[in-house]
Amino acid sequence: MNIVINGESREFDSGITLSKLLKELSLEGKVMAAAVNMEIVKQNDWESYKLKDSDKLELLDFVGGG
C-alpha cells in the first residue's frame, strides 16, 4: 500500500501500524509527533494505529534553538 510521508510516497505492507512503520524507517525514538491526514495521533496509540492505503503521514521532530 502507498503512504505519503512528509510529502514522499513510499510502499509498505497492508495493515502496517504507525509504530511498525517508524521501526522500519529507523525513526523509533526520534519522532515526537505524528499526524495522519492532518489529525494528530497520540503516541499511546501508535502501537495499535493501522495505516490505510493513500494515508498522508507527517512526522515531526522538535528542534530547540534560539
Cell, residue 29: 525514538
- Domain count for the chain: 1
Range of the domain at 52: 2-60
Distance, in Å, from the CA atom of 11 to the CA atom of 44, rounded to the nearest integer, reads 24
Residue 66 lies in a domain: no
* CATH code, domain with 9: 3.10.20.30
- pLDDT category of residue 30 using cuts at 50, 70 and 90: confident
Say whether pTM exceeds 0.75: yes
Average predicted confidence (pLDDT) for the chain: 93
Residue 65: how many CA atoms within 13 Å on its side-chain side? 3
Distance, in Å, from the CA atom of 15 to the CA atom of 12, rounded to the nearest integer, reads 9
Kind and range of the H or E run holding 21 = helix 18-24
10 pLDDT more than 70: yes
> Mean pLDDT, to the nearest integer, of 36-41?
97
Distance, in Å, from the CA atom of 55 to the CA atom of 5, rounded to the nearest integer, reads 9
